[in-house]
Every structure is written in structure tokens, then in C-alpha cells.
Structure 1
């Protein structure tokens, strides 16, 4: 079954044939007379021009399926028409065949058509100038030949350029849409990672404390006083976890343009601060750790850490103490918070000995970690331009962080 384009080409061929026959009937034949014709056709003999016209119109039906072959037929019928004396009718299918070939063929074929068209324009001009030495006639011949061979090529080139520009614009729009989609997916992925990191830091420390106290109570014989103290610690950790979750949800609902600033003591909301580590030290003490803290940052008279540095530093210390309580319960922990040598950095160092047990953390019913805590610390530090490293030195596990004193324009969840 023919497709719509083939039916349209057949219809155009039929219309072209009818129009060409009308031109022949009006006597628009032998337009070049004895200049090209090998025979003189008069009266009804002019209908011989209908033969090359009809064959060229048949070639129009196949101009899209075989454009080069159809154009070759068109050139041949144009030559036959010129030998008969030339008619206007043959130009109708010839223009269409030349235009279609220049529009849909390859670049190599298009270059060949331009060369052939240039030859067909230049050769008659040179011949006419040599024979007549008439410049006006030479220009007229050049204009006539250009209309026949150059105009269809120029028209096809213009249409093709506009089509290619439209295709490039569509491809660019599609690429922009794909980039936008990739950007949205990347942003969603970053937000998911950020939420996972914040949930781990905010909730995991409290849940670890709950697991430690409840596991310790279950691992020993019943003791009302000891069990009640464990329940008090469990309740305290649960309340603190709920408060931190409430603060984080509040900040998630806040506009993106808001910046996090610590609220002074006495306010309604207290965001964690590196210069106020006492809650963490109390929690670590309740979890069975013995922490020796050296904090020289809070004593600085002028330079104070930015809000993002306060928050990130606090969470790094919190995660390190949580890991120590989980994997080395009851150990002595060394905590140092010091200003950098140049005054533009904050140095944090947390060190604790390896546990004596071969399977640390399981004595009190707590599961082994998945390494997410260290990943979270590194990601938090990197978000404000800092670095976190961990190492094993002299049977001690040491976490070291270097953070910028101020990290403006950074939005970090608590």
C-alpha cells in the first residue's frame, strides 16, 4: 500500500502534466527556435513536446524513492525537448526533480549538482559571447540558465538549512530537558543522601545509648535501682531524640533562603554547637565513657566559628563518641577541640583505645556498625570545605577533623 507521500507525489505529477499540456496548447513551444532544434515543428506537430513532458512527469512519481535516477530522466527529457526546439512545459517537472534531489540527497550529490549547474550556466555564456560578442545577450543567457539550474538548487539549500536548524533546535531542547531531568535526579539524590546522613547522626546516637543501657540492664541479674536508672537514661535519650527530630523537621520545612544560626541559651530552640559540648560529654558519661576534654575554641575572645562549622563539628564529635560507646564501652576517650595555627581552621581530635573483646560492641547487645558513621562525618565536613580522617595508632582509634572557622552560605541540617 502506498504511503501518503507517494500518493501526494503522484497527484503533483498529474497536476504538472495537465499544466504542461496547457502551456503546449497555448503555443509556448520552440522558445529557442533554430538555436537548439533539429527539426521545425509547426501546427499540430507541437504535441511532440508532450512526449518528454509525460516521461518527466512519470519520473516525478519516483522522485523521493530514487531522486538521482529520476533527475537523470529529467535531464534526458530536457535534452530531448531542447532538440525539438524547447518548451516552457518541460521546465515544470525539471525544476521539481532538481529541487527534490538537492533537498534530500547526500552532501556529495549536492556538491555534484552545484558543479553541473555551474557548467550549464557558464558554458552557454562563454559560447554566446564567443559567437556574438554581445555582452547583453551573454548576460541574458546567464540569467536564463541560472533560473533553470541554479534557482532550484538555491531554494533547496535554503529549505534544507532551515530544516537542519529546526532539527538542531529540537535536539538542543531535548538535551536541555535531559540535563534538567538529570539535575533534578541529582538534586533528589543529594537530598536523600543528606537526609540519610542527618537521620543517622541525629537518631543513631540516641538509639545507640538506648541499646547500650537496655542491653546492659538485660545482661545482668534484675536490680531495681540499676534497672530504674537504665530506664531513666533510656527515657532521656528518647526525649532528646524526639527533640532533635522536631528541630530537623522544622528546618526541613523552612524556606531554603533561611540560614541556620544557633539560638542563645534561653531561647525556644537550641541548635547543637561545637562550643557547647557539655550535653555530649554528659551523654558520653552516662553511656559509660570517661572523656577527657580539652576545649580551647570556646575560650577565644574574638573569633567564633560560623553556624555551619558549629553544627558540623558538634555532629562529628557526637558520632565519634557514639562509636566509642558502641565499640569500646567503658573506655577512656581523649577529646581535643583546638583552633588552627593560622586562626582560620578548627581542629578536632577524638581518640579511644581498641576494645579488649574480639567482637566489640556485642557485649551489650549492640550490633556491629556498617561504616556509615565515618562516611557521614566525611560528607558533613566536605559540605563546608573541611576534611575528616581516621587512623589506628598505638592500639588507639583516632578520628581527626579540620574544619574552616567560618563557612558562609552553607545550609546544614542539625
Structure 2
């Protein structure tokens, strides 16, 4: 029962529209009007016809009602014209004795104008309605009626003419509000779609930046190792050439073979490191001067303690590149110079970089950073079997790299 009442309230507040609904209204008004004519239910204040017509007033009133309900079929396209026609038919019906069915037709025509006519047309019709109500009041006063009759007739005129206008105006406001809410909902959905698309683009750009940084780092590893491997192989070739150029000598030849073997093993170890990197998809192109911990002085850092020497070339290069990236990040995002401490034993080299955190740094737009620096440090250490940890420690940011020195744990196929 509650749901039915709610549906009826929605229908009253926003009646359906369309040609089918217009035809249904016209037929319903015609049927109701005919029933009221048969029952001789007339408008208030009209008791007798004002003119005699042949055949009686009933057939004529049926014809007028049929014309009025037919005119309502065109109310959507020509609301003001239909109202004028219905008003004229109502005047004829009043002369014939008045029919409550024709008033219902006028009610629907007024409702349609208030609901869907142009603003100027609505203003004119509303002015005419108010003028009619005031005209009734003035006419009753001029006719010398009592104050009671003046008030009653004025209220009757207002209750007949103004309610359909008020209902139609209320429905129009509800439709405008509904359309505005729908437009806002569409705009909100469009903004949400744009925000999601922007977030996807930011994530995709960040992923591309990380991938590009990783590829660049792998290519740089290969370039660094290129010269090292070439140096070892050149040493092997020189020792072999020297042994072949001189007369046979067992001790000298064994020393040359020993040196050649050591150089080839070193070259093989470095080659394995390079292959591990190249397997990830980077290409080694132009050769560059190898980098190592001996170049720590070139970086804008404070070195704590001595820097180990004599570590394997691949580890030396990886440690320097990790230190270089950590120093760059400290310069960009930190609050001061970075402090570096490098230690080594028989098993591993440990690199620790500490820098103060910035105290006045604002929030960083995710679209402007992709964490590529940390990613390349992890890739560099992982290629040698090591690991990198990075994160805040109180008011300090620490990067700690652990790089194995034993060939058995570093070089893996």
C-alpha cells in the first residue's frame, strides 16, 4: 500500500508526457465529461442555460466537449493556442448551461501552459488569470453585492483558475531541478572518468620511467664491464705472445701460462657479470671509462673511514654506481651532504650512505617522480647477487648496499 501511494505521489508531481499520454488524458476527460453530463452535474454558479437551442442543450454540450478534448491532442505543440480554443469552447458551454467536464478540459489546458509554454507566454497567461480573478471581485462590488458574496465569488474564481496554474508551475520546476541534477551527475561522472584516466596515465608514465631507468642502468653496467673484460683479454694475449716469441723455457712458460690463466679467469668472471646484465634485455653499445670506488672523490659526499681497494671489478663498479645514485638522490631530496662509509671483509662489501631528511619539503606530485633511482640501485645489486635497503631512520635517510665478494656467490648462470 505504501509503495502504491508513493508511486501515485510521483505521478502527481511529475505526470507522464508524450503523445500516448496526451491521447489517454483526452479520452479519460471525454468519458468523465460525458458521465457528468448524463448525471447533470454542472459548474458552480451556473444553473440554467442562457440561450435556447434546438434539440436541447445536451447534444450541443456533448459536441463542445468532444471538440475540447480533441483540441487537447495538440496541446504539446501549441499550448497557448489550445488554451484560447478551450476558453472559447468553455464560454459556449457556459451559455448552454455549463458543464463540469469542460472545466476539467480548461484545467488541463492551463496546466499544460504553466508546465511547458515559453516564459513570455506564461507571464501573459498568468496576468490574464489574475486579472480575471480581480475582475470578478470588482464586478461583484459594482453590482452592489454584500461583502460576503464578494469574498465568496472571488475565492471561487481564484480556486477555479489558479490551482491548475500552480500545479503546472510546480511540475515544471521539478522537471528543471531533475534535469539540472542529472546534468550535474553526468558532469561528476565525467570528472571521475577524467580523474581515473589521469591516474592511469600517471601510473603508466611512472612505469615507463622506471623501465627506461633500469634499461639505461643495465646498458651502463655493460659498458663499464666492456673495458674491464677487454683489458683482461689483452693481458692474456700479451703473455701468450711473449711466451711464443721466446725460446722454450719451462719456468718462464709456466709463469706466462699462470698469468694467462689468471687473466682469463678474471675475464670470464667479468664476462659472466656482463651476461647476467645483458640477459635482462639491455644492449652494450659505446664503451666508456670504467667507474669504481677510486673515484669517490669526484662525488659531493663526505667519506667516513678508508675506502677498500682490490675488490672485484664488477663489485667495485656496482658499489660506485649505487653510491653515485644515492648521492644524487640526497642532493635532490635531502637536507644536507651525504656521509658515506664503505667496509669490506672476505665475504662482502657493505656500502652505507646517510643524509639528513629535508625539513621544509612539501608534498611531491606522483606524476613527477617514479622511484627510478631506488629501482636502478636494486637492479645493480641484484645483478651481482646482493641487495639494497633504503628508508628513513629518524631524521636521516639511509641507503645500505650489501655486495658479495666471493665469486661463487656473485657469479651465477
TM-score (norm 2): 0.55
Q: Does structure 2 retain, via aligned residues, the 8 Å contact 1:295–1:337? A: no
1:28 to 41, 44, 50: 41
Q: Deviation at 1:161?
A: 2.0
CA distance in 1, matches of 2:78, 2:304: 85
Q: 1:16 — aligned with what?
A: 29
Q: Deviation at 1:45?
A: 2.8
Q: 1:346 — aligned with what?
A: 336
Q: Deviation at 1:90?
A: 0.9
The alignment partner of 2:40 has SS state of coil
2:113 to 97, 101, 107: 101
Q: Show the 5 A alignment for 1:87-126.
A: 87-126=99-138
Q: 1:285 — aligned with what?
A: 292
CA distance in 1, matches of 2:211, 2:66: 81
The alignment partner of 1:65 has SS state of coil
CA distance in 2, matches of 1:29, 1:336: 93
Q: Deviation at 1:95?
A: 1.0
2:150 to 118, 129, 138: 138
Q: Does structure 1 retain, via aligned residues, the 8 Å contact 2:225–2:274? A: no
Q: Does structure 2 retain, via aligned residues, the 8 Å contact 1:294–1:337? A: no
Q: Deviation at 1:241?
A: 10
Work out whether 1:185 is the aligned partner of 2:185: no
1:53 to 54, 62, 65: 65
CA distance in 2, matches of 1:87, 1:336: 91
Q: Show the 5 A alignment for 1:4-403.
A: 5-29=18-42, 31-33=44-46, 38-39=50-51, 44-214=56-226, 224=236, 229=266, 232-233=269-270, 235-236=272-273, 284-285=291-292, 292-296=298-302, 317-318=324-325, 345-346=335-336
CA distance in 1, matches of 2:123, 2:323: 69
The alignment partner of 2:299 has SS state of strand
Q: Deviation at 1:150?
A: 1.1
Q: Deviation at 1:227?
A: 7.5
Q: Does structure 1 retain, via aligned residues, the 8 Å contact 2:114–2:168? A: yes
Q: Does structure 1 retain, via aligned residues, the 8 Å contact 2:47–2:97? A: yes
Cα 1:45–1:242, aligned 2, differ >3 Å: closer, same or farther?
same
CA distance in 2, matches of 1:297, 1:141: 104
Unaligned runs of 5+ in 2: 1-16, 237-259, 281-289, 306-320, 339-363, 371-391, 396-413
Q: Deviation at 1:28?
A: 2.8
Q: 1:263 — aligned with what?
A: none
Cα 1:73–1:218, aligned 2, differ >3 Å: closer, same or farther?
farther
Cα 1:25–1:216, aligned 2, differ >3 Å: closer, same or farther?
same
Q: Deviation at 1:19?
A: 1.8
Q: Does structure 2 retain, via aligned residues, the 8 Å contact 1:62–1:70? A: yes
CA distance in 1, matches of 2:35, 2:188: 53
- Higher radius of gyration, 1 or 2: 2
Q: RMSD of the alignment, in Å?
A: 4.7
Q: Greater helix percent: which structure?
A: 2
Q: Does structure 1 retain, via aligned residues, the 8 Å contact 2:134–2:154? A: yes
Q: Does structure 2 retain, via aligned residues, the 8 Å contact 1:297–1:339? A: no
Q: Deviation at 1:152?
A: 0.9
List per-residue Cα deviations over 1:172-218 (Å, max 9, x = no partner). Answer: 22222222221111111111222222233344223222144348867
The alignment partner of 1:132 has SS state of coil
Q: Does structure 2 retain, via aligned residues, the 8 Å contact 1:74–1:94? A: yes
Cα 1:93–1:139, aligned 2, differ >3 Å: closer, same or farther?
same
List per-residue Cα deviations over 1:359-403 (Å, max 9, x = no partner). Answer: xxxxxxxxxxxxxxxxxxx9889559xxxxxxxxxxxxxxxxxxx
CA distance in 2, matches of 1:52, 1:215: 108
TM-score (norm 1): 0.55
Q: Deviation at 1:113?
A: 2.4
